[in-house]
């Protein structure tokens, strides 16, 4: 087994100590924490929309952006 030494800030160490279970090594803690993070790539394509649903979402986003831009312009003109 290969061992590596890493340097971390004391504040990070304290956070890790709070996360670490009493019977857990730091290596096991790191493995557990890394398992919690997920790449979004594995979710790509998981949500399929019909053409009608896609059009509805596009329309809702355009409406939101338009309303947001109008509100932004109002606030900018008051400065």
Per-residue pLDDT reduced to its tens digit, 13-29: 999 999 999 999 999 99
The CB density around residue 20, as the number of other CB atoms within 10 Å, is 16
Write down the pTM of the prediction: 0.45
Q: 41 or 50, which is more confident?
A: 50
Mean pLDDT score, 36-50: 77
CB 29 within 8 A of CB 16: yes
**pLDDT for 59:** 95
Is residue 48 pLDDT above 90, yes or no?
Answer: no
Q: Please, what is the average pLDDT of the chain?
A: 89
């Amino acid at each position: 087994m290969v061992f590596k030494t890493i340097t971390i800030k004391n504040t990070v160490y304290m956070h890790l100590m709070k996360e670490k279970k009493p019977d857990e090594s730091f290596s096991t803690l790191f493995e557990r924490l890394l398992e919690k993070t997920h790449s979004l790539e594995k979710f790509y394509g998981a949500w399929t929309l019909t053409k009608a649903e896609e059009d509805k979402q596009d329309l809702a986003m355009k409406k939101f952006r338009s309303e947001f831009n109008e509100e932004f312009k109002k606030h900018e003109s008051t400065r």
